[in-house]
Amino acid sequence: MVAIDSLGRPRKGLPHLVDPDDSEHCAKMRKMAEQRKELAMRWRKEQDAVDEMAIVKKTDLHHGEEKKEYVSDQAALYCAQNFTKSERMVTIAMNRMVFRLPISLLDIVMLRARVVNVRRYCLEVEVEVFVESSLHGGKRSSHSGYFTVMHYSENTENKRIGRGLKVDENSQSEMRTLLKAQKRYEFAGEDEDLYTLTKPDPRF
């Protein structure tokens, strides 16, 4: 969440997190916030680096991905079900939900969802939300995010996804999308470590 001023700009000078009874926990949270910020900057740098590549080749993709044939949770889930032709899909994670514009009651909301990466049991769906003012017109991107959706069997066990994405160097747009998805996957472990919080000891 971001604090804003009366003009809708990010507000500076917010107070620091302070807890006289647990200063060690506050220090840990401040350190973790700095690590999250650094991770986000590295994540953004990796994504931008893909856009700066003149040509994305199959050799740029992670080994083995091509062998696999290479905003809303509901939109991501429906997209995943449509892709796998199976209703046994469940959203297990949401990543990098970035809000750029607010949505008002007079806005027309449009969603675009597409599968951007397929692994053995899971796939990643990119959801982008657009808003169009019913008064002034003009479609603008409101927010976007990535959802990990898992395929499961009748016994609620992981089930292999039987199809994948086509890898074609002639479609550079799709190649960049896949490479970005693979780079996001590299950050998954660090994301989990930094965004999984432990509850402080209860006070009596």
pLDDT digits (tens, 9 = 90+) for 21-76: 888 888 888 888 888 788 878 878 888 888 888 888 877 776 544 332 334 678 88
What number is the average pLDDT over the span 99-110? Answer: 80
CA angle, residues 14, 19, 24, in degrees to nearest 5: 110
Distance CA 131, CA 110 (A): 6
Distance CA 170, CA 5 (A): 47
- Spatial contact of 101 and 142, defined as CB atoms under 8 Å apart: yes
pLDDT at 62: 63
Q: What is the pTM of this model?
A: 0.63
pLDDT at 50: 83
Instruction: Please name which of 93, 89, 125, 122 lies closest in space to residue 196, comparing C-alpha atoms.
Output: 93
Q: If you average pLDDT over every residue of the chain, what do you get? A: 80
CA distances from 3 to 8, 9, 13, 17, 169 (A): 9, 8, 10, 15, 43
pLDDT at 191: 66
What number is the average pLDDT over the span 151-165? Answer: 91
The larger pLDDT score, comparing residue 203 to residue 111, is at: 111
Q: How confident is the model at residue 158 (pLDDT cuts 50, 70, 90)?
A: very high
* Helix (H), strand (E), coil (C) string for the chain: CCCECCCCCECCCCCCCCCCCCHHHHHHHHHHHHHHHHHHHHHHHHHHHHHHCCCCCHHHCCCCCHHHCCCCHHHHHHHHHHHHCCCCEEEEEEEEEEECCCCCCCEEEEEEEEEEEECCCEEEEEEEEEEEECCCEEEEEEEEEEEEEEEECCCCCECCCCCCCCCCCCCHHHHHHHHHHHHHHHCHHHHHHHHCCCCCCCCC
Q: How confident is the model at residue 203 (pLDDT cuts 50, 70, 90)?
A: very low
Highest average pLDDT, of 34-43, 143-152, 162-171, 181-190, comes from 143-152
Is pLDDT at 13 greater than 60 in this prediction? Answer: yes
Q: How confident is the model at residue 88 (pLDDT cuts 50, 70, 90)?
A: very high
Q: How confident is the model at residue 89 (pLDDT cuts 50, 70, 90)?
A: very high
